[in-house]
Amino acid sequence: MAGKCIILDDYQNVATKMADWQTLDKSLTIECLHHHIRDRHQLVEALQQAVVIVVMRERTVIDRELLAQLPGLRLIVTSGMRNAAIDIAAAKEKGITVCGTASGSEPPAELTWSLLLALAKNLLPEQHNLTGNGPWQSSLGTTLAGKNIGIIGLGKIGQRIARYAQAFEMNVYAWSPHLTAQRAQEAGVTFVAEKSALLAQSDFVTLHLVCAPATQGIIGWNDLQQMKPSAYLINTSRAALIEQGALLRALENNVIAGAAVDVFEEEPLAADSPYRQSHHLLATPHLGYVSDSNYRTYFTQAIEDINGWLAGKPVREL
Active-site residue set: 238, 267, 286
236 C-beta neighbours (distance < 10 Å), count: 28
> Cα 98 from chain centroid?
20
How many Cα neighbours within 13 Å face the side chain of 203? Answer: 15
SS (H, E, C) the chain: CCEEEEECCCCCCCHHHCCCHHHCCCCEEEEECCCCCCCHHHHHHHCCCEEEEEECCCCCCECHHHHHCCCCCCEEEECCCCCCCECHHHHHHCCCEEECCCCCCHHHHHHHHHHHHHHHCCCCCCCCCCCCCCCCCCCCCCCCCCCEEEEECCCHHHHHHHHHHHHCCCEEEEECCCCCHHHHHHCCCEECCCHHHHHHHCCEEEECCCCCCCCCCCECHHHHHHCCCCCEEEECCCHHHECCCHHHHHHHCCCCCEEEECCCCCCCCCCCCHHHCCCCEEECCCCCCCCHHHHHHHHHHHHHHHHHHHCCCCCCEC
